[in-house]
Structure 1
Amino acid sequence: MASEEIETSKFLKDKEAGRNAPEKQKELESSDTSCGFSIFKGPTLQRFATAHMFVIMYGLAGCFLAMAFTYFTGTITTMEKRFNIPTKISGLITVGNDISTVFSSAFLSYYASRGHRPRWVALGLIIIALFCLLMLTPHFFYGAGEEALRLTEEYGLTESIDTSVNSTEKNDALCHEKNSNCVKGAEDYMPIVLFFIAQFVGGIGCSLFYAPGLSYMDDSSASSKTPAMLSLTTFLRMLGPAMGFSIVSLCLRLYIDPFKTPLITTKDPRWMGAWWLGWILITVILLIAAVFVGMFPKEMPSAKARRLKADDDEDIPLAKRSFQDMLDSLKRLARNKVYVYNMLASILYFFGYMPFWIFTPKYIEIQYRQSASTSTMATGTWALGFSAAGVLISGYVISKYKPSARAMAAWNFVVDYLTVAGILCYILVGCDESDRANSLSILPTGDSCSASCDCEYVYYSPVCSPENITYISACHAGCTEKGLDALGKTIYSGCRCMGNSPNLTSLSGLTSLASQSQIAMDGACPVDCNKQFIIFMAVMCFLKFVGATGRSSNLLLALRCVPSRDKTFSLGFSSMVYSVLTFIPSPIVFGYMLDSYCLVWGKTCSSKGNCWIYDTKSLRYTMNLVCASLIFVGSFWNIGVWYHAKDIKVFDEEETVNQTKKDEEIELKEKPKVIVQTGTLNNP
């Protein structure tokens, strides 16, 4: 009897367990499609579990991410001045995030696809917030620096400066016997190490942000809506550089120490803005964005319905993926000609266009004599506005007219040729006044008149002669005395390296200096390059617009040319390849190129510091010719993409629906004929 009760009880438990199993499975599955986490869950949040809402949030998060890296790009020249960093070292710092991408992108993107992808994206945003904090630390450790503080009124209160025009007291910036010290403290490489570590950490965050996020977005939306989704998220992401450059412009208008009063203006090449200030704001924004992105479900309800309805027998279950499966995916990608050719074309395009992504503000500063604030604002507003327009227009055209894969590939190599033509125009848009001024600036440095002066380690403090020639410093001009005119402007006198000056008695407040006839005004000689700057901006806006029109089509080809199961891995693997072959070597190569055309270095005790004056004409020709050649060669691979893209279905979902409708129409047309024929057979 007892045994019968035990068996009955067991049977009832098993039966109950059988009843509860589907309910538990249903509950488990529903948790994968519900928004929020921990106590932040409920029907209120669930209504946001849509593909459109994720696209908006993912696009805004991408905007903030792009804002962070754009802020770094816009502050490069200021950091070079502050920490005496050559451009080739800046390029090396820049590739830190790409080096980490090499080691993390393929593996993280593959294994992130098996988990909660929105939370992987959120983790990436948190890591990028850590990158921002690390970029901020050198300022708190080292402060504004003596080179910047000595150009403030507060520094003058502690270091008494005799402003009398008759003063004969020697100054470090003036010509005197060789007994001065070199620039100390500049040989500290710790700021460079901190910047590199920050970039390395940021690369890991980018790996977790892009590949899982793009594949999640593509899986969550119907393929017919993917172009519009990509355009929207790309548009939102492109607001990031505009916002980043705007923040840079505002921060660089403030002096590096906002609590002190500078003696120079933003037009002075020695001006250092508050490069560190924007990192605080960006860190907070990224952390907030991470919370919102992490609330999205593991899988969208609509995407899950499509997945369950579709036949996925050939796909490998996410939970059972292994390293061997990843190798199999890699073999499939290697045999995919469209994927390989598109990657080769992108490698050469990215390599050639990289200096314009990283060094555009610097290029504008040195070529057209614009301030750091103006350069970053122009790059981040006008140019990126045209980029955003290009993305939106291309997304609308693709969504409305649904071009074939071949048409998209054809447009990609048209974009390449237009880009080559625009870059060649950059060579012609030079400022002759700036070229001439830079070449004249170095002529007096080797003159025997300043050979007895101790100018080797003098700070870069340009002065302008009456002949409109800029000297590196008053020391290099052979000046022996310093004073002020009636307007409070600094005047250097006794400048024996200058020619005879014309009619000095007409200068106000210089009657006591008129007899000396050799004077110099503080600051570089004025150069007007505004006309050439406007022409350059017009060409750059055109290139930004054209290049942006090819982004959506190129990304669609990359997503559609591979099987669904390899989508996330293909994005991660391509990111790794781009890092190894493009994003790492290109900034270093062009950084060395910029340094090779440097005319005046800020020399320090142990090594050369940052560059102050470039051979702008030679640099303009060399850099633009190299960039145009690389992109031109890459265009031939896009022709290969066009040839092999004939079988790719970009809008396969709509084509299937249309084909089904056609089959139904044919069936309805043929059905009456069959009935008549059957009736004839049955009733002879």
Structure 2
Amino acid sequence: METRMIPDQSKDNPPFLDRSIGPLPIKRMYPYFSKLKIFLGALAFSFFAKGFSGSYMKSMSTQIERRFEISSSVVGIIDGSFEIGNLMVMILVSYLGSKVHRPKVIAAGCLIMSFGTFLSVMPHFLMGSYNYERIPLTEDNSSTSLSACSLALPLHHPTLDAMEMTRELKNSGCEKAASSYLWIFVLMGNLLRGIGEAPIMPLGVSYVDDFAKEENSAFYIGTIRSSGMVGPTLGFLLGSFCANLWVDVGVVDLESLTINPKDTRWVGAWWLGLVICGAVSFLASLPFWFLPYSLPKEGEERNLKKLSESSVTIQEDHCKIESPSQPQLKFSEAVKDFLPTLKKLLGNPVFLVYLSLTILQYNSMVGLITFETKFMEQQFNVSVSRAIFLIGVILLPITILGMFLGGFIIKKFKLHITGMAKFGCATFIAAYLLNLLYFTCDCEVLQVAGLTVSYSGVKQSSFPKNNLIASCNSDCSCVLNQWDPVCGDNGITYMTACFAGCKSSIGTGKNMVFHNCSCVQVQGLESGNFSAVLGQCQRESCTKTFPYFLALLSICALILALGGTPTYMIMFRSVSPDLKSFAVGIDALCGRILGGLPAPIYFGALIDQTCVKWGTKRCGGSGSCRVYDTKAFRNVYLGLIAGLRAGCCFLYIILFVLILKRFRPESNELIDLKSTEVPSRKGSTSVSKNETFSSTKTLEANEETCM
């Protein structure tokens, strides 16, 4: 062969060639080199897929609450079902770690995610068209004008016979609707999504950390997590688009609607984005089916150029001999070794404090994200679609930038675990102090006549329902539990046009205007033809404080994200190499079971306590909340987050002190390293601890190459 006649390896020749073995090492080296990059790309896309569907589901929580007419606490249970799915398999997946074919397990997980997402779409095709709550209008005898104030008996009037009411509900199909709980499909789909997502993080991250250089590992993981954050960004953008579409788009005439996306009865096309999310999760599974069980350590594949043809043959023969003798993992042995391994892991005080920190952070983060759009809608008078859009285009890109910069800082300054702990502690405390400024973003409660203010405009400290009827509407036979708000000329919102005492109207759909409203009184004018328009009145003071809140939220997100990657890497540097994947799994498991699962439930239950006016289902019973006491909502929502993060600050300080005590300062490490560089005579057997660890890792990588 021509390659054997080359006298030496000049710079013109490929660096992989060897005179004795020809081009053979190229064929052996190139697939491993490319497969590591393929795995990094596939893992980044799987992170994108899970973030894409997860953020979309979070953004649609308000739409799901309104479509299925459920409370925030039930929405929290649906959201928590994802964490339950994780719990069902997380321990097993993370414990087995490198003992299973990690790429194929991740591929199967992505397929389960896809199936769960498609399952959540089913209720839309099983339910009828969405009929939102609105009052009936009667035709005026003198003209074609419609009147909200009539002498017709309301549905709940005591003169109606109970048997007649039951018959009427049956005829309208209410019996079937009242006995159906189609939101369980969404819950089960979310459960399957949690099962499918479980292996992606622990198996994917441990796979990268096993086969990447130690100095590149943090950068790769930070880059993958940053790339994965593109998924939540696009997920929120898709959520904003779908929330702005009517739920029965293409079926219902949009001109007949009397509400807009700012109305609390509006339901967007929540199901449409789930179809797209399911398709993305399916595509994410495909590359992992073609990736190998293990790879050589990054950088070690270049040493193949020094091997001769005989050494390659010997290595292949060694693999053939050793592979059959390698013991296969039995399930009984894995279960038997589980408790000692767990005891060893939890016996590490650094990891134990880190685990407690993760639990509190999960609680605050999950509660924040789940109800953030609802908080922005109620507090700052913005539509849900706009709130979702702003989170997607402003907040999440800033978070991505912060996570990327955090990984870059570790690589650039070569931070030791003590440096990572110091950086993470400082950034979190700084963000917490800025968090306290959220409480300055005050907003007035929506003025609803007879509910939060009297009909004369005087604010009420409590919200009794017996003040809804006044002398101006006492002859209108208004139904007390209906919600179809109108805004009067005086800037006060009325529950319905009937409560405003409106006698006539002009226009249709969203352009309908009510006139001769006896309860609408403009200060300074004793009488007049006062009118009201559909929808709630705008709160100007709330709108003005929204940019300030958004800027503060963005700054806090950037600072928190900067310290996120260094804090995450503390876990890898504080446990032994054989416990890395198990540590990742236990960390994610405890975070989900004690943070992700309960947080949306108790956040939602406490937020429900601040509700002033509940909606009414078509067949009776309470639906989703229409109006909140915004001050109580703010204190509960922001107060819970601030309290949880105060505990995080305390644990960060403890973690930093423990790391300083356990790990030597960098100056002492340099002295130790210099002592190992003293030249030894030929045949000396003294080696440093670092050299021993490096040799062990190299041996492990070579053994895995044979598998």
The TM-score bracket by the shorter chain reads: 0.7 to 0.9
Q: Does the 8 Å contact 1:416/1:632 carry over to 2?
A: no
Following the alignment from structure 2 to structure 1, what is the Cα–Cα distance between the partners of residues 279 and 150? 47
Which residue of 482, 485, 507 maps to 1:484?
Answer: 507
Look up the match of 2:349: 337
Following the alignment from structure 1 to structure 2, what is the Cα–Cα distance between the partners of residues 439 and 395? 55
Quote the offset at 1:112 in angstroms. Answer: 4.9
Look up the match of 2:623: 609
Is 1:221 aligned to residue 212 of structure 2? yes
Quote the offset at 1:456 in angstroms. Answer: 4.2
Following the alignment from structure 1 to structure 2, what is the Cα–Cα distance between the partners of residues 430 and 45? 61
Q: Percent identity?
A: 24
Is 1:286 aligned to residue 299 of structure 2? no
Look up the match of 1:676: none
Q: Judge which range, 658-667 or 388-397, deviates more.
A: 658-667
Look up the match of 2:383: 371
Q: Does the 8 Å contact 2:155/2:479 carry over to 1?
A: no
Q: Does the 8 Å contact 1:59/1:233 carry over to 2?
A: yes
Which residue of 261, 265, 278 maps to 1:266?
Answer: 261
Is 1:519 aligned to residue 511 of structure 2? no
Q: Deviations 1:263-312 (Å, cap 9, x if unpaired)?
A: 34333443322111111111111111100133221111336969x99xxx
Following the alignment from structure 1 to structure 2, what is the Cα–Cα distance between the partners of residues 281 and 334? 41
Cα distance change, pair 435–160 in 1 and its aligned pair in 2 (3 A):
closer
1:136-215 equivalences in 2 (<5 Å): 136-147=121-132, 166-167=143-144, 176-179=152-155, 184=174, 187-215=178-206
1:454-473 equivalences in 2 (<5 Å): 455-456=478-479, 459-473=482-496
Which residue of 272, 275, 279 maps to 2:270?
Answer: 275
Q: TM-score, normalised by structure 1?
A: 0.79
Q: Judge which range, 325-334 or 98-107, deviates more.
A: 98-107
Look up the match of 2:44: 59
Is 1:403 aligned to residue 415 of structure 2? yes
Cα distance change, pair 665–90 in 1 and its aligned pair in 2 (3 A):
same
Following the alignment from structure 1 to structure 2, what is the Cα–Cα distance between the partners of residues 470 and 109? 54
Cα distance change, pair 346–488 in 1 and its aligned pair in 2 (3 A):
closer
Following the alignment from structure 2 to structure 1, what is the Cα–Cα distance between the partners of residues 510 and 35? 65
Q: Does the 8 Å contact 2:406/2:563 carry over to 1?
A: yes
Quote the offset at 1:521 in angstroms. Answer: 1.6
Quote the offset at 1:356 in angstroms. Answer: 1.6
- Name the aligned partner's letter for residue 329 of structure 2: A
1:383-532 equivalences in 2 (<5 Å): 383-432=395-444, 443=454, 446-449=467-470, 450=473, 455-456=478-479, 459-484=482-507, 489-499=511-521, 517-528=529-540, 529-532=542-545
Following the alignment from structure 1 to structure 2, what is the Cα–Cα distance between the partners of residues 163 and 665? 103
Quote the offset at 1:518 in angstroms. Answer: 4.4
Q: Does the 8 Å contact 1:447/1:497 carry over to 2?
A: no
Q: Deviations 1:537-574 (Å, cap 9, x if unpaired)?
A: 10111111111112211221112211222221222122
Is 1:231 aligned to residue 222 of structure 2? yes
Is 1:319 aligned to residue 329 of structure 2? yes
Is 1:299 aligned to residue 321 of structure 2? no
Following the alignment from structure 1 to structure 2, what is the Cα–Cα distance between the partners of residues 390 and 277? 31
Quote the offset at 1:252 in angstroms. Answer: 1.9
Q: Judge which range, 635-644 or 388-397, deviates more.
A: 635-644
Cα distance change, pair 458–630 in 1 and its aligned pair in 2 (3 A):
closer
Q: Deviations 1:630-677 (Å, cap 9, x if unpaired)?
A: 21122222222212224777999xx99x988874564499x9xxxxxx
Following the alignment from structure 2 to structure 1, what is the Cα–Cα distance between the partners of residues 677 and 558? 44
Look up the match of 2:241: 250
Q: SS in structure 2 opposite 1:492?
A: strand
Cα distance change, pair 451–52 in 1 and its aligned pair in 2 (3 A):
farther
Quote the offset at 1:437 in angstroms. Answer: 6.5
Gap runs ≥5 in structure 1: 1-41, 152-158, 310-315, 505-514, 672-684
Cα distance change, pair 118–439 in 1 and its aligned pair in 2 (3 A):
farther
- Name the aligned partner's letter for residue 107 of structure 1: L
Look up the match of 1:512: none
Cα distance change, pair 596–234 in 1 and its aligned pair in 2 (3 A):
same
Following the alignment from structure 1 to structure 2, what is the Cα–Cα distance between the partners of residues 56 and 335? 36
Cα distance change, pair 606–571 in 1 and its aligned pair in 2 (3 A):
farther
Quote the offset at 1:99 in angstroms. Answer: 1.6
- Name the aligned partner's letter for residue 202 of structure 2: A
Is 1:119 aligned to residue 111 of structure 2? no
- Name the aligned partner's letter for residue 502 of structure 2: C
Q: Deviations 1:9-42 (Å, cap 9, x if unpaired)?
A: xxxxxxxxxxxxxxxxxxxxxxxxxxxxxxxxx9
Look up the match of 2:593: 580
Q: Deviations 1:246-266 (Å, cap 9, x if unpaired)?
A: 111122222222213323433
Following the alignment from structure 1 to structure 2, what is the Cα–Cα distance between the partners of residues 105 and 623? 30
Q: Does the 8 Å contact 1:419/1:547 carry over to 2?
A: yes
- Name the aligned partner's letter for residue 126 of structure 1: L
Following the alignment from structure 1 to structure 2, what is the Cα–Cα distance between the partners of residues 271 and 663? 70
- Name the aligned partner's letter for residue 293 of structure 2: K
Quote the offset at 1:207 in angstroms. Answer: 1.2
Quote the offset at 1:443 in angstroms. Answer: 4.3
Give the total of aligned pairs.
599
1:635-674 equivalences in 2 (<5 Å): 635-646=649-660, 663-664=676-677, 666-667=679-680
Is 1:558 aligned to residue 571 of structure 2? yes
Look up the match of 2:602: 589
Following the alignment from structure 2 to structure 1, what is the Cα–Cα distance between the partners of residues 514 and 561? 51
- Name the aligned partner's letter for residue 291 of structure 2: F
Quote the offset at 1:123 in angstroms. Answer: 1.0
Q: Deviations 1:378-427 (Å, cap 9, x if unpaired)?
A: 01110111111111111111001112212212223323322322322111
Q: SS in structure 2 opposite 1:301?
A: coil
Cα distance change, pair 317–613 in 1 and its aligned pair in 2 (3 A):
farther
Q: TM-score, normalised by structure 2?
A: 0.77
Q: Deviations 1:201-248 (Å, cap 9, x if unpaired)?
A: 111112122111111111121111111111101111111111001111
Q: Does the 8 Å contact 2:51/2:235 carry over to 1?
A: yes
- Name the aligned partner's letter for residue 183 of structure 2: I
Quote the offset at 1:107 in angstroms. Answer: 1.5
Following the alignment from structure 2 to structure 1, what is the Cα–Cα distance between the partners of residues 477 and 426? 57
Quote the offset at 1:350 in angstroms. Answer: 2.1
Gap runs ≥5 in structure 2: 1-26, 157-164, 302-314, 319-325, 456-464, 685-707
Q: Does the 8 Å contact 2:117/2:277 carry over to 1?
A: yes
Q: Does the 8 Å contact 1:167/1:481 carry over to 2?
A: no
Q: SS in structure 1 opposite 2:625?
A: strand
Quote the offset at 1:452 in angstroms. Answer: 6.1
- Name the aligned partner's letter for residue 648 of structure 2: G
Quote the offset at 1:462 in angstroms. Answer: 1.1
Look up the match of 2:700: none
Q: Deviations 1:301-351 (Å, cap 9, x if unpaired)?
A: 336969x99xxxxxx977255212111110101210010001111212221
Cα distance change, pair 113–44 in 1 and its aligned pair in 2 (3 A):
closer
Q: Judge which range, 246-255 or 339-348, deviates more.
A: 246-255
Q: Does the 8 Å contact 1:163/1:482 carry over to 2?
A: no
| Greater fraction helix | 1
